[in-house]
């Protein structure tokens, strides 16, 4: 799909304008401003609404037209134009790409080179709090759709000259700006090289969001689990870079990508580190227990009520039997109906405007649920189980993991309906085998659980006090392994 482009800048200004107008034919928002200054005919080309007109008027047009000398492009660049950010190009195709990115192209008659001014000033959303990753204590800044804002948010947190931001462009038609970020002396070089290799292999016409990039460079597209972490929080990306990982910023997307990604980091929150270690450790234990419930609770209900009623205490068995009296469906169908209904309700709440989304949640969760119980279609205990399962599913702020847990939960329910507790056990074994085999940029998806070093367990199920974090996580082949000096 990729084509070689290299139309050089013509010496005559009119020839350049003819070529550019032919390429951009029908684009009514392109502004062509021709003028004369110092006996030189020149032209400014920009997109209305994407370039800063005040900047062009005060620092380009006014300076150039007030000059009475005949000068070359090099002299204009060094003595006339007072803009700080400009570059010289010799390809019209590069100029058109810069033009479509919001910059301004300047062509001079008699010169085989052109100037590009950084005048991007398109409408943008200001920096605000991430809607999906709120914290009790911590910064309230989140990434925006403008890639330069996002890189600045990282620079504020990593004031280190070894922080590198390497630009590239993806998408034959969209030419979306991509930034690869890492800390030079800490990063895992193998991960960095693999990241660049996979990004360079992408050959697609458009990249509209970081989700495109994530799916195109992941290890196993058939796995239900995300192998690349996405986040709206610059502090999460900064923390990952300090551990030797690689960050990927994508223009037009408020979600940054972090590679490699491991399963434990999806269940960690910035709150775990901003609060005292005891609070963070307790929260992680609760989170781990919630994930277990989210995966196996409905399947366990199906298995016990369908195959293993003898293991239930007698009074509880009578209570469940009384609650299910009159329900026309077996436990398996009942569980599937409730899970599907809850999935539909959650999907509707996400798509609806916020003003009525909460109302629909109350109506769907209470009114419809109560009506179903009163009609004898669903048992009350099933409503409780699905409610608990739904709450525990959202214990992680990463929606991809939530969807993955939902799929696994459906599979566990099916396995429980076939073989009871044996089916659940077999399903969990297959589930663990898949996780063990899964890789993310060469590293095990269960790292650092599968590692045996003591330091790797300081930030896993419990979080040790900050004074104990002497070394960085060493399951990756990073550079500088020391995080802080050991104190008595």
More confident residue, 350 or 204: 204
Task: Give the percent of the chain with pLDDT over 70.
Answer: 94
Q: Is residue 127 included in any domain, yes or no? A: no
Q: Within a domain: residue 483?
A: no
Domain around 302: 274-443
Average pLDDT over residues 274-297: 89
For CA atoms 475, 477, 483, 488, the dihedral sign is: positive
Specify whether 66 is located in the same domain as 21: yes
pLDDT value, residue 384 = 85
C-alpha–C-alpha distance, residues 40 and 235, integer Å: 50
Query: Are the C-beta atoms of 282 and 296 separated by less than 8 Å?
Result: no
- Work out the average pLDDT over 33-61: 83
Is residue 410 within 8 Å of 389, Cβ to Cβ? no
**Omega before residue 265 within 30° of 0, cis:** no
Which range, 310-314, 420-424, 451-455, is most confident?
420-424
Alpha-carbon distances, residue 68 vs 37, 39, 40, 381 (angstroms): 6, 7, 9, 87
**Same domain membership, residue 287 and residue 432:** yes
Q: Is residue 454 part of a domain?
A: no
Cα–Cα distance between 335 and 414 in angstroms, integer? 10
- The answer to whether 263 and 272 have CB atoms below 8 angstroms apart is no
Same domain? For 280 and 406 the reply is yes
> For residues 345 and 385, what is the distance between their CA atoms, to the nearest angstrom?
16
CB 29 within 8 A of CB 51: no
**How many C-beta neighbours within 10 Å does residue 17 have?**
16
**Sequence-separated (6 or more) residues with CB below 8 Å from residue 429:** none
**Domain count along the chain:** 3
Query: Has residue 358 got a pLDDT over 70?
Result: no
pLDDT at 330: 84
Same domain, 227 and 311: no
Q: How would DSSP label each residue in 236-268?
A: HHHHHHHTT-EEEEETT-S-EEEES--HHHHT-
- The strand pair at 443-444 and 439-440 is best described as antiparallel
Residues 94 and 214 in one domain: no
Could you give the CA distance from residue 249 to residue 195 in angstroms, rounded to a whole number? Answer: 13
For residues 31 and 84, the model is more confident at 31
Same-domain check for residues 216 and 299: no
Residue (of 408, 404, 419, 328) closest to 372 by Cα position: 328
pLDDT of residue 361: 63
Task: Measure the CA–CA gap between 365 and 359, rounded to whole angstroms.
Answer: 10
Number of H helices and E strands in the chain, helices first, is 18, 12
How far is it, in rounded angstroms, from Cα 324 to Cα 343? 23
Please work out, in degrees rounded to the nearest 5, the angle formed at the alpha carbon of residue 14 by the alpha carbons of 8 and 17.
65
Assess whether pLDDT exceeds 60 at residue 3: no
Consecutive H or E run containing 181: strand 176-183
CB 183 within 8 A of CB 245: no
261, 285, 309 — which closes off a domain? 261
How many Å is the maximal CA-CA distance in the chain? 101
Asked whether residue 249 carries a pLDDT value surpassing 50, the answer given is yes
How high is the pLDDT of residue 362? 66
Q: Are residues 104 and 220 in the same domain?
A: no
How confident is the model over 369-426, as pLDDT tens digits?
A: 777 777 777 888 888 888 888 888 888 878 888 889 889 999 999 999 999 899 999 9
Distance CA 111, CA 72 (A): 8
CA distance 325 to 341: 21
Domain boundary among 240, 261, 282: 261
245 and 283 fall within a common domain: no
Count other Cβ atoms within 10 Å, centred on residue 375.
Answer: 9
């Amino acid at each position: 799909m990729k084509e070689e482009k290299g139309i050089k800048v013509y010496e005559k200004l009119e020839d350049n304008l003819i070529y550019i107008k032919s390429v951009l034919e029908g684009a009514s928002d392109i502004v062509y401003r021709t003028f004369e200054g110092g006996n030189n005919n020149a032209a400014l080309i920009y997109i209305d609404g994407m370039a800063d007109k005040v900047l062009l008027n005060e620092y380009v047009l006014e300076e150039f037209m007030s000059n009475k000398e005949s000068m070359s492009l090099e002299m204009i660049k060094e003595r006339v134009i007072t803009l700080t950010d400009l570059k010289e190009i010799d390809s019209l195709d590069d100029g058109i790409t810069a033009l479509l990115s919001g910059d301004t192209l300047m062509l001079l008659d008699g010169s085989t080179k052109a100037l590009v001014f950084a005048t991007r000033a398109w409408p943008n959303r200001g920096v605000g709090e991430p809607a999906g990753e709120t914290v009790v204590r911590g910064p309230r800044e989140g990434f925006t759709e403008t890639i330069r804002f996002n890189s600045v948010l990282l620079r504020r947190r990593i004031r280190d000259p070894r922080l590198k931001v390497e630009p590239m462009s993806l998408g034959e038609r969209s030419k979306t700006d991509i930034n690869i970020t890492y800390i030079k002396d800490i990063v895992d070089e193998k991960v960095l090289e693999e990241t660049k290799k996979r990004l360079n292999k992408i050959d697609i016409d458009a990249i509209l969001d970081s989700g495109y990039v994530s799916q195109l460079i992941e290890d196993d597209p058939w796995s239900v689990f995300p192998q690349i972490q996405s986040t709206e929080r610059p502090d999460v990306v900064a923390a990952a870079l300090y551990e030797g990982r690689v960050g990927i910023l994508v223009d037009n997307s408020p979600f940054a990508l972090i590679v490699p990604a491991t399963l434990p980091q999806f269940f960690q929150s910035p709150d775990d580190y901003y609060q005292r270690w005891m609070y963070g450790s307790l929260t992680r234990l609760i989170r781990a227990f919630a994930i277990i419930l989210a995966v196996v609770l409905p399947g366990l209900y199906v298995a016990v009520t369908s195959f293993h009623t003898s293991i239930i205490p007698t009074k509880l068995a009578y209570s469940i039997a009384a609650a299910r009296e009159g329900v026309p469906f077996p436990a398996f169908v009942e569980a599937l109906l409730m899970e599907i209904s809850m999935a539909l309700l959650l999907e509707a709440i996400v798509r609806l405007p916020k003003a009525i989304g909460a109302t629909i949640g109350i109506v769907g969760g209470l009114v419809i649920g109560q009506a179903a119980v009163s009609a004898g279609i669903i048992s009350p205990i099933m409503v409780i189980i699905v409610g608990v399962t739904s709450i525990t599913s959202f214990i992680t702020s990463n929606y991809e993991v939530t969807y993955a847990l939902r799929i696994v939960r459906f599979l566990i329910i099916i396995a429980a309906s076939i073989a009871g507790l044996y089916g659940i056990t077999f399903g969990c074994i297959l589930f663990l085998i898949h996780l063990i085999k899964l890789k993310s940029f060469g590293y095990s998806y269960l790292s650092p659980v599968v590692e045996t070093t003591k330091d790797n367990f300081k930030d896993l199920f419990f979080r040790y006090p900050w004074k104990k974090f002497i070394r960085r996580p060493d399951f990756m082949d990073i550079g500088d392994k020391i995080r802080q000096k050991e104190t008595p």
